[in-house]
A = this chain, B = another copy of it.
Amino acid sequence: MHLSTESAAPTPGTVRPGGRTARTRSAVRDAVLTGLAEHGYPGLTVEYVAERSGVHKTTVYRRWGGVEGLVADALDLAGEDAWTPPDTGNLEGDLRALAREVTETFGSASAAAAPTAFIAAAFQSERAAQALRDFYTERFARCESVVRRAVDRGEAPSGSDAAAVVRAVSAPLFFRVLITREPIDAPLADQTAAAVAAAVRAGAYLPARR
């Protein structure tokens, strides 16, 4: 579900219409991701993006305004993928698969580079922070189907706070990787999923508890 260069790359048959404009946007987005990964947000410049993407600097300025606009648009584009949450047939399995995606993303330096760079940029740019908020709001809304299916199967009490559940299963992993700077691994993902599933079953995510 995460912000990675890989997930945003087009695959055969999925290229959206748009021709040259879409190709330009995609080339610029790739240059932004590479620049963020190599130099971080403070070192990203329009000059770098123009040179790396082969798109003229005046075109970059005209269409994106500057570095903040470039980062925000790269995030918007990352949100346009066709990702759907896992469907393993039971709540704990789905939560485990979601948690494992986080450990897999951050276990790979190339997959971790883009999400890490976007999250770092949001500390320095309010526009990047807004784009990140929009990205995660939409992404976690997709994840909520995991909880709806669990309610339909009778695994979760009706009325469980799906938004809180899907965030709770990612949070301890992101928290360690990007805030407390501690290692994460698949057993930790599984423990996190087991804990959240147990809390759901116990009714701790019913609205009365908020």
Contacts and interface: CB of A to CB of B under 8 A. Distances in A.
B195 A205 contact: yes
Given A123-B116, A123-B123, A199-B198, A167 B176 contact: yes
Contact of A168 (B40, B187, B195): B195
A204 interface: yes
A28 to B, nearest CB: 23
A129 interface: yes
Given A175-B170, A176-B167, A195-B168, A209 B181 contact: no
Given A123-B123, A179-B174, A168 B190 contact: no
Interface in A117-163: 119-120, 122-124, 129-130, 132-133, 136-137, 140, 161
A201 interface: yes
A157 to B, nearest CB: 12
A161 B202 contact: no
Given A171-B171, A172-B171, A187-B210, A130 B181 contact: yes
Contact of A124 (B40, B164, B194, B196): B40
A27 interface: no
Nearest to A178: B179
Interface of A: 40, 42, 116, 119-120, 122-124, 129-130, 132-133, 136-137, 140, 161, 164, 167-168, 170-172, 174-176, 178-182, 187-188, 190-192, 194-199, 201-205, 209-210
